[in-house]
Amino acid sequence: MANGSRQAAWDFFGAELKRRREEAGFTQVELGARVFVSGGYIGQFEQAIRKPQLDVAQRIDEILQTDGFFERTWRKLIDDKRYADYFAEVVELERTATKIAEFAPTLVPGLLQTAAYAHAVTLAANPFVTDEYVEEKVTARLERARILGDATRPEYWVVLHENALRIPVGGAAAMAGQLDRIAGMVREHKVVVQVLPYAAGAHASMTGDLRLMEFEDAPPTAYTETSFSGTLMDDPAVVKRTQRAYDLLRAVALSPETSLALIESAAEDFRRCASTT
């Protein structure tokens, strides 16, 4: 579904939510209280500024007695085959986040990846697919990164484990280009990056990636991911624990200035390696 068509469909979702809410005699605040979000949150759904999570759409169906209409519509709109099922909703949330804080223990995060790096990652996980499949996945990943070029871009904080700087994804030349991109985005003030060095040893997120997202008028969410699954969470207690883990990671990571120097040094190492092969 093209972006324009998708937005029109979300506009319809919002208009239908408003119509059915008013028919049921609820204000935004009253409906929000029943589905465990704020009235402002409901208003953002109705204006198609923000998309609800699946469980919220299901609760709206239950309260408004709409026989699964909002769940079915949500599933149709979130069903973007360019992304894994568990990640498609995260992509929608990224577009309205005011702040994204991410920990990447092995790979450079998708929002920072170059085309060459994304291509190598995609092909490594899918060695028997067509070139068209790989190109679709890479294009989708680069499209996600456009939010960092918007005037209303979110604050973006990243803790990179040193693994992400040292594993030669795509070869030495590709890695030099990838690390140059990260350094350039740091210098352009589009992202704050800290490196968690090998010397830090054990850390607060040994089991995988984690991400925190904040919004203008909605509760924060946390997302964790392993190789073949991801979990999106908005329970306040869980989000608080995830924030604590992220704070602990930042506390033992290198400073932004030292991290930038390490990233640029690693890029130069890869560049020298590329020139000798």
pLDDT tens digits, residue range 173-214? 999 999 999 999 999 999 999 999 999 999 989 888 999 999
Task: State whether residue 37 is helix, strand or coil.
Answer: coil
- Structural domain including 68 reads 3-78
The answer as to whether 89 is a domain residue is: no
Residues 6+ apart with CB under 8 A from 182: 108, 112, 160, 191, 193, 263
- Does 164 map to a domain? yes
Q: How many domains does the chain have?
A: 2
What per-residue confidence (pLDDT) applies to 3? Answer: 54
* Local confidence band at 119 (pLDDT 50, 70, 90 cut-offs): very high
Whether residue 133 is found in the same domain as residue 248: yes
> Would residue 84 count as lying in a domain?
no
Q: Same structural domain for residues 55 and 104?
A: no
Q: What is the CATH number of the domain that holds 64?
A: 1.10.260.40
Q: Where are the beta strands (DSSP E) in the chain?
A: 99-104, 155-161, 192-196, 209-215, 218-226, 229-233
Q: Are residues 130 and 50 in the same domain?
A: no
**Residue 2 pLDDT exceeds 70:** no
Mean pLDDT computed over every residue of the chain: 90
d(CA 37, CA 220): 11
88/113 Cα distance (integer angstroms)? 18
pTM as predicted: 0.74
What three-state secondary structure class fits 218? strand
| 67-78: pLDDT as tens digits | 999 988 887 777
Q: Which tens digit of pLDDT belongs to each residue from 79-97?
A: 666 777 778 788 888 888 9
Q: What's the mean pLDDT in 52-71?
A: 91
Strand partners, 212: 101, 222
Alpha helices in the chain (DSSP H): 3-24, 28-35, 39-46, 54-64, 69-78, 85-94, 115-125, 131-144, 163-166, 172-187, 236-252, 256-275
Residues 135 and 199 in one domain: yes
Q: Is residue 85 part of a domain?
A: no
Residue 195 bridge partners (DSSP): 160
Residues 160 and 207 in one domain: yes
Distance CA 209, CA 104 (A): 5
Report the alpha-carbon distance of residue 223 to residue 87 in Å, rounded.
9
Residue where a domain stops, chosen among 48, 78, 108: 78
Beta bridge partners of 101: 157, 212
> Does 122 share its domain with 73?
no
| Whether residue 54 is found in the same domain as residue 105 | no
Q: What single DSSP character describes residue 149?
A: G
Structure tokens at 270: 């890869």
CATH of the domain at 125: 3.30.870
Are 105 and 239 in the same domain? yes
